[in-house]
Structures are given as C-alpha cells and as structure tokens.
Amino acid sequence: MMYDLATFFLWILLALVIGGFVGWRTWSDAKRPDWLRSWLLPATLAFAIGVLVAMLSLLPGRAGLWLELALLMVGAYVFGCLIGGQLKDFFGLDAARASAPAAPANSLAFVAQAAGARPVIDSPPQSPSPATQAAASVEADRAAAETAAKAEADRLAAEAEAERRAAEAAAQAEAERLAAEAAAKAEADRLAAEAAAKAEAERLAAEAAAKAEADRLAAEAAAKAEADRLAAEAAAKAEAERLAAEAAAKAEADRVAAEAAANAEAERLAAEAAAKAEADRVAAEAAAKAESERLAAEAAAEAERAAAEAAANAEAERLAAEAAANAEAERLAAEAAAKAEADRLAAEAAANAEADRLAAEVAAVAAEQTSETTDGRPPALPAPDGAADDLKLIKGIGPKNERILNDVGVHHFSQIAEWTPAHASWVGHHMAFPGRIEREHWIAQAKLLAAGLDTAHSSAVKSGAITIDEQADAPLSEDEANALVAQLPELMPSVENEAAHAGSRPLGLASPRGGQADDLKLIKGIGKQNEARLHGLGIWHFDQIAAWTAEHAKWVGSYLAFAGRIEREQWVPQAKELASGGTTEFAKRVEAGLVKSSLDDGSRGQDNVEAVEPRE
C-alpha cells in the first residue's frame, strides 16, 4: 500500500525534471556506446520495483518508505536524463547543423584545380577549363545532395526516435495507469476481503455465542435432572434407613423381650429346683430321723456303744443326704442357667436374622425403585388423588390397559400428560407394545383431557356413541392413528417469557371449538381486557378454566399481572358452575345488561384477542 501518493508524485516529478535538465546540458554528438538501451532497462526495473514495494507494503516503517522513494526517484531521474538528451538531440544539435555556414559550391573545384596545378610550379596562372568547371560543379552538387540527404535522414531518424520515445512514454504512462488501477483494485479487494473476514468473524462469534447459550441451557437442564435424581436417591435412601431403623428397633425390642422371658424362666426353674432340693433335704432328714428312731427302738438293748455308733451313722447319712440334695440343686441351677443362656443366644440370633432379612428387603425395594427410576419408569401414585380419571377416554386404552396402568400407579390424565419419551418407552415395554403410546398419541390426548378439553373419541364415549369393551385395547391401524391426529385440535404455541412466571401454563386452543367461544365475561372478574388476554392464551371455554389446577391459576395470575386475584375472585368455581349448564348471580346480571364492563359486542368474543407484552 502506498503511503502518500501525492507526496510520492511530487518527488518523482522533481527527479524527472532534474534528470531532464542534466540530460539536456550534458548531451553531445560524439560517438558513444548504445547507452540508451543499457540505461533504460535498469531505470525501468528500479522504477517498477519501487512501485511494487510501495503497492504491496513489503517493507513497513520509515526505512521501507525511504527505500521505495529512492527507487522511484532513481528511475525517474534516469528517465529524465534520457528524455532531456533525446529532446536536445531532436531540437538542439540538428538545428545547429542546419544553421552552420556551408562551404562554397565550387570549393572542390578550387581544391582540384590547385592540386592539378601543383606540378607546374613556374607556369603562369590559367583559368580552369569548362570541363573542369563542370566536373567541379557536378561534384559540388553531389556533395550538397549527399549533405541534404544526410540531413533529411538525420531528421527522419530524429522524428522516428521522438515517435519511439513518445510511444515509450505513452506505454509507460499506460503502464503506470494500469499499475495504479491494479493498486486501486488490490486495495478494494483487500478492503472487501477485510469486510468479508469481519462479517465472517461476527457470524462465527454469533454462532459461538448461540452455541454457548445452548450449552449453558443444556448444562442447566442436566444439572436439574441430576439434582432431581440425587433428591430421589436421597429420599429412597432416607426411606430405606428409616425402615432399617424401624426393623432394628423392633429386633432390639424382641431381643430384650426374649432375654427378659429367658431370665424369668431361668429364675422360675431355679426357684423350683431350690424348692425341690429343700423338700428332698427335709424328706431325707425326716427319713433319716425316722430310721434312727426305729433303729434306736429296735436296738434299745444294745450297748451305749451301739447307740453312739447308730447316732454317728444317722448323722453321717443326714450329712450325705444334705450333700446329695445340695449337689442336685446345683446341677439343676446350672442346667437352668445354661438353658437360659442358650435361649438368649437363640433369641439374639433370631433377632439378628430378622433384622438382616428386613434390611435386605428394604435394600431390594430401594434398589428396585432406583432401577425403575433410572430405567424411565414414570412417577406413580399408590392410590388415586381424589377420584380416578376414566383413562378409557384415551383412544387406545380399554379395560385391560387401564388395569395395567392402575397397577403401575397411573390413575389420572395429568400423569400421562407429563410423561417424557423415556416414560412412554418404559410403559410401552412394560405393557408389551413398545412404540404404541407414541404412535397413538396417548400423551397428546391426555394433555387435552387433563385441561378439560374433549377429543372426538372422548366426546363419542361420553355421549354413548362408542361402547368401550375389550376391543378398545386393540392397537390402532396406521389410518386410524392418522385420523386421530387430524381430529386433535390445534394448540396455542408458547408465549414469550413463558417460563418466567410461577406455576404452569394451562393448555390453550388455537381457536374455539366449533368456531364459537363461551362468553367468559359471565365470570366475575373477567372483563373485555382480561377476556382478550385469555383468548391470547387459547382459553375460550368455561370448561377450560374449570379444569385449572392451583398451579395453572398461579401462572395465569402472574401472566396477567394480578397474582392471587383468580383465587380470590373464585374464577374456577364460577367456571365449573357455568360449564355444567348452571348460572351465577353475576352471570344473570351480565345477561340482563346490568354490567356495562361485561357487555358483549355480538361476536361472542372470538375477535377479542390480545397478547400480553413481556415485562422488562
């Protein structure tokens, strides 16, 4: 890229003028080598290199700038010298030759005459003969003609040289113009390339930002799923620990009770053994005493020695009996203690085995729950939350499929409406027909029914046009599935900032059923503005509001910027009364035209639609 074209042009022009002046002043007609050709090529190369270096900015900085300028000035100076010399050659030297005094026409005759007369030294002067004069005149004319021819040739050569130099100058100017155009085009191409590169960089940056945002949302969703999984695992673990603690407490209580019973039994047996030993001792003593008395009576006549001996024997027998009784009592007590210890150990072993069994059962239940949760099993209810929904209103579910769903804890449309693809896959495999739930659109039907909306199938079932029997469990054909999808009403799309409101958004229809909306202004608290905003959410009918849950009411209240008003003004109970064909005092006043803010314009509100602008 050239740094300053105007400054460069001035310096080049100055070098060209100086070179032209020097060439004019130093030009001569002397014979010299073909310096024109030998100097023209280096000068052209120097100038071309300077232009190329300047255009491409090969040498950045001040040093590069001076080198470019030096090359351009050297080339311009040499060009100036050549042009000045050629101009002088064309205008100066030829004019000098033309203006120089010519020799007399008969000078050759005089020379010849003098040469011819030189041998006759002493002869008197003689006038040239006519022949000699004629020859001299012819020679002079020839010389003059040659001189004129040479001058004409020189003039023509000068003109040709001037034309050649003019052509070279024109070619050089054309080359410079083309070089300038090429430089301008290169600059334009560079700017276009820079703009394209910048646009590409901005596009890549935008794509990177979008990808980063998508990655962040995916990471948040994964983190939430992980948190839910950890919470479920923690709950299952806590439940298992609670059951294990209860089982351990029960086992400990049983062990303590068994130990107490064993101790009581041991004490009873020990008491019985002691009583028996005491009785045996007393009986032995009585028997020994009676025997001694008998012996004493029989041996009354014996000597004192025999009596003493008998008394000694009796005492020995008594002592022996007492020792035997004591030994028997100790044996019985030892047996009772051993039996009590054995019973205690057996009770402890049984309690430990029972505790291990209960812990294993709890762990198995927890593992089964965890496995089912991670395998995609949907959340289950042990019993219906209130009255169970008639799941047979979903096309594809008959009595058999409804029993299977109830067995896995599914009792309400809202449960099926919240199924993920993983839940649907799990239930499909559990019911031995994988893919059928997705093909027959159970989830879409359940969403409509949970929102209080009927499908063509549910309406036919409710009216009795279709009787539900075992055939209702049969899979739908492809044509039946396609017809079912075509009959499902079109739903409203998501609204801006939908996830920013608390609760959950109720399902909305893109248009009222049958092309006729209910007059929502019959509900106290709903005027024309709120009716328009509800229509913007796809809420057209009383039965839609009647099916709202507390979460739905919370979301709509936040969306309409009056949280709590729906609950406070009892919109849902009013809608249930109106949806069932009844009326309210406020509805009677509206229909009588006594409530100006609720007067209908005759269109039944189908055209009264407004979308709430998102809040900052």
Q: Identify which has the larger pLDDT, 278 or 383.
A: 383
- Residues 351/258, Cβ–Cβ less than 8 Å: yes
Can you read off the two tokens belonging to residue 548? 């709202």
Confidence of residue 356 (pLDDT cuts 50, 70, 90): low
Same domain, 467 and 339: no
Q: What is the pLDDT of residue 12?
A: 83
Task: State how far the alpha carbon of 206 is from the alpha carbons of 47, 212, 214, 368, 508, in Å.
Answer: 47, 10, 12, 47, 34
Residue 122 lies in a domain: no
Give the tens place of pLDDT for each residue, 566-612. 999 999 999 999 999 999 999 999 988 888 776 665 445 555 666 55
DSSP-derived secondary structure for 510-525: SS-GGG----GGGSTT
> Helices 61-88 and 35-56 sit at what angle, rounded to 10 degrees?
150
Asked if residue 274 has pLDDT above 80, the reply is no
Distance of CA 131 to the CA centre of its chain: 120
Find all residues with CB under 8 Å of 517, minimum gap 6, and list them. Answer: 535, 540, 541, 604, 605, 606
Same domain, 458 and 310: no
Confidence of residue 615 (pLDDT cuts 50, 70, 90): very low
Residue 591 lies in a domain: yes
What does the alpha-carbon distance between residue 437 and residue 395 come to, in Å, rounded to a whole number? 10
Residue 74 lies in a domain: yes
CA angle, 439 then 511 then 543, to 5°: 85
Same domain, 46 and 63: yes
Q: What's the mean pLDDT in 290-301?
A: 64
Same domain, 37 and 166: yes
Name the nearest CA neighbour of 54 among 12, 86, 17. Answer: 12
What percentage of the chain has pLDDT greater than the value 70?
68
Residue 505 lies in a domain: no
Same domain, 366 and 382: no
Asked if residue 369 has pLDDT above 50, the reply is no
Same domain, 613 and 554: yes
Q: What is the pLDDT of residue 277?
A: 66
Asked if residue 244 has pLDDT above 90, the reply is no
Task: State how far the alpha carbon of 290 is from the alpha carbons of 51, 276, 326, 401, 574, in Å.
Answer: 157, 20, 21, 93, 107
Q: What is the pLDDT of residue 93?
A: 54
Give the tens place of pLDDT for each residue, 189-218. 889 888 888 988 888 988 888 888 888 888
CA angle, 319 then 320 then 323, to 5°: 85
Residue with tokens 């990177």: 208
Find all residues with CB under 8 Å of 4, minimum gap 6, and list them. Answer: none
Residue 53 lies in a domain: yes
Same domain, 154 and 19: yes
Length of the chain: 616
Q: What is the pLDDT of residue 366?
A: 45
Q: What is the pLDDT of residue 255?
A: 72
CA angle, 155 then 160 then 165, to 5°: 125
Q: What is the pLDDT of residue 367?
A: 47
Same domain, 346 and 400: no
Terminal CA-to-CA distance of the chain, rounded, Å?
Answer: 50
Buried b (16+ CB within 10 A) or exposed e, 130-144: eeeeeebeebbeeee
- Residues 574/485, Cβ–Cβ less than 8 Å: no
Same domain, 258 and 185: no
Residue 541 lies in a domain: yes
Note the pTM of the prediction, 2 decimals. 0.36
Buried b (16+ CB within 10 A) or exposed e, 468-495: eeeebbeebeeeebeebeeebbebbeeb
Q: What is the pLDDT of residue 325?
A: 64
Residue 66 lies in a domain: yes
Q: What is the pLDDT of residue 410?
A: 95
Q: What's the mean pLDDT in 244-265?
A: 70
**93 burial type by CB count under 10 A (0-12 exposed, 13-18 middle, 19+ buried):** middle
Residue with tokens 């090429």: 182
Residue with tokens 């969403």: 447
- Residues 82/42, Cβ–Cβ less than 8 Å: no
Q: What is the pLDDT of residue 372?
A: 44
Name the nearest CA neighbour of 141 among 153, 129, 152, 133. Answer: 133
Mean pLDDT of the chain: 77
Alpha helix positions (H), 299-395: 304-374
Same domain, 319 and 384: no
Alpha helix positions (H), 419-547: 421-430, 436-439, 442-450, 456-463, 478-487, 528-536, 542-546
CB neighbourhood size of 203 (10 A): 10
Q: Considering 317, 346, 370, which residue would you say is the last residue of a domain?
A: 370
Report which residue type is found at 325: A
- Residues 67/58, Cβ–Cβ less than 8 Å: no
Distance of CA 282 to the CA centre of its chain: 99
Confidence of residue 29 (pLDDT cuts 50, 70, 90): low
What does the alpha-carbon distance between residue 532 and residue 548 come to, in Å, rounded to a whole number? 18
What percentage of the chain has pLDDT greater than the value 90?
17
Q: What is the pLDDT of residue 195?
A: 86
Kindly report which listed range (91-100, 432-441, 468-477) carries the lowest average pLDDT score: 91-100
Asked if residue 97 has pLDDT above 80, the reply is no
Asked if residue 119 has pLDDT above 50, the reply is no
What does the alpha-carbon distance between residue 265 and residue 261 come to, in Å, rounded to a whole number? 6
Find all residues with CB under 8 Å of 285, minimum gap 6, and list them. Answer: 318, 321, 322
Give the tens place of pLDDT for each residue, 558-579. 988 888 999 999 999 999 999 9
Give the tens place of pLDDT for each residue, 10-28. 888 887 888 778 878 776 6
Q: What is the pLDDT of residue 427?
A: 93
Q: What is the pLDDT of residue 595?
A: 82
Q: Considering 370, 392, 413, which residue would you say is the last residue of a domain?
A: 370
Same domain, 274 and 366: yes
**Helix (H, G, I), strand (E, B), or coil: what is residue 564?**
coil
Residue 303 belongs to domain spanning: 234-370
Q: What is the pLDDT of residue 594?
A: 87
Mean pLDDT is highest, among 48-52, 133-137, 285-289, for 133-137
Same domain, 261 and 304: yes
Confidence of residue 422 (pLDDT cuts 50, 70, 90): very high
Name the CA radius of gyration of the chain, rounded: 65
- The tally of domains found in the chain comes to 4
Kindly report which listed range (23-32, 75-84, 445-454, 475-484) carries the lowest average pLDDT score: 23-32
Q: What is the pLDDT of residue 614?
A: 47
Mean pLDDT is highest, among 61-65, 247-251, 494-498, for 494-498
Q: Considering 419, 453, 488, which residue would you say is the last residue of a domain?
A: 488
Q: What is the pLDDT of residue 370?
A: 43
Q: What is the pLDDT of residue 110?
A: 37
Asked if residue 284 has pLDDT above 80, the reply is no
Give the tens place of pLDDT for each residue, 432-463. 889 999 998 999 888 888 887 888 898 889 88
Asked if residue 342 has pLDDT above 70, the reply is no
Kindly report which listed range (28-32, 70-74, 154-158, 492-496) carries the lowest average pLDDT score: 28-32
- Residues 398/473, Cβ–Cβ less than 8 Å: yes
Residue 497 lies in a domain: no
Element holding 221 (H helix, E strand) = helix 130-298
Confidence of residue 68 (pLDDT cuts 50, 70, 90): confident
Q: What is the pLDDT of residue 121?
A: 42
Q: What is the pLDDT of residue 223?
A: 83
